Amino acid sequence: VSTMYVSSAANMKPKSQEKEGANNMRLTELARKTDISCVQAFHTRDEIDAMIEAAIHCRFAAAFTLPAFSSYVAEKLAPYPDIHAGGVISFPGGGDTTSQKYRQAKELREAGCEELDMVMNLTALRSHEDQYVLEDIAAVREAAGKDILKVIIEAPQLTGEEIHRAVNLCIQAGADYVKTSTGMYASHPSVVGHIQLISDAAKRRIKIKAGGGIRTLETIRAMEKAGCDRFGISISSALKLFHDLY
């Protein structure tokens, strides 16, 4: 047996190890496109700490909490500039006044947030008060400054026409992303079809974030293929989906 053959054979990895390495590399790539969150009213400080730990370990794109804890998360993530602290505006209903949303954005920026997810005024959208919706988002865009701004439209509860209008209003107002859902309505999860509708309306003029009901890597990959750029997942789901990175 030649020395060359023995050497190359010794360096060969079993196929199972190669597959595991490839899977972990793919998970790492997906983590960089994923926001994790603790935005339920009943989440505890321990769960917020677990979210921060997971964000650092897996290198998630951002970590979101309710506003009362935004400065705490931002402080913990400060040594890791590639992981953003995220804040929510008019969450989850979207019915705050424009001036309230403007002040929330300002306060979250002062707390150290670099990404802001605001909820669109859906009553106004569905009532065809498009100018109000446009000005509402534009005000938050102004307050957000250089922060990444995502607008949540609750796509699972809108018609195709309403989704199309919502996407175009987000684009006109200067938002960075359209987000499918707050994830607060379990009976109305985001599905691949919603991503496709948003993508068709967006025509690559704005990025897309999926949130609400994302439970499997297969769903994430299908949404990614349909045009989704970012994924929002709760801490409990994220720990299950990305456990191989631990």
Express each pLDDT in 93-127 by its tens digit.
Answer: 999 999 999 999 999 999 999 999 999 999 999 99
The pLDDT-based confidence of 129 (bands split at 50, 70, 90) is very high
pLDDT of residue 7: 43
Distance CA 187, CA 135 (A): 30
Q: Cis peptide leading into 79, omega within 30 of 0?
A: no
* pLDDT at residue 22 in the model: 61
Active site residue: 35, 96, 117, 176, which one? 117
Reported as a pLDDT band with limits 50, 70 and 90, residue 6 is: very low
SS3 string, the chain, reads: CCHHHHHHHHHCCCHHHHHHHHHHHHHHHHHCCEEEEECCCCCCHHHHHHHHHHHHHHCCCEEEECHHHHHHHHHHHCCCCCCEEEEEECCCCCCCCHHHHHHHHHHHHHHCCCEEEEECCHHHHHCCCHHHHHHHHHHHHHHHCCCEEEEECCHHHCCHHHHHHHHHHHHHHCCCEEECCCCCCCCCCCCHHHHHHHHHHHCCCCEEEEECCCCCHHHHHHHHHHCCCEEEEEHHHHHHHCHHHC
The mean predicted confidence, pLDDT, of the chain is 92
Pairing mode, strands 34-38 and 62-65: parallel
Burial class (CB in 10 A: 0-12, 13-18, 19+), 137: buried
179 catalytic, yes or no? Answer: yes
Tokens of 68: 């009362």
CA distance 65 to 50: 12
Proportion of the chain above pLDDT 90, given as a percent: 87
Q: Which of 69, 101, 83, 94 is nearest to 36 (CA)?
A: 83
4: tokens are 């060359």
Structure tokens at 177: 């992303």
Confidence at 8, pLDDT banded by 50, 70, 90: very low
Whether 101 is catalytic is: no
Does the annotation count 15 as an active-site position? no
Per-residue pLDDT of 9-65, as tens digits, reads: 344 455 555 556 567 778 999 999 999 999 999 999 999 999 999 999 999 999 999
Please tell me the distance from the alpha carbon of residue 47 to that of residue 21, in angstroms, as a whole number: 29
pLDDT, tens digit, 9 for 90 and up, residues 211-236: 999 999 999 999 999 999 999 999 99
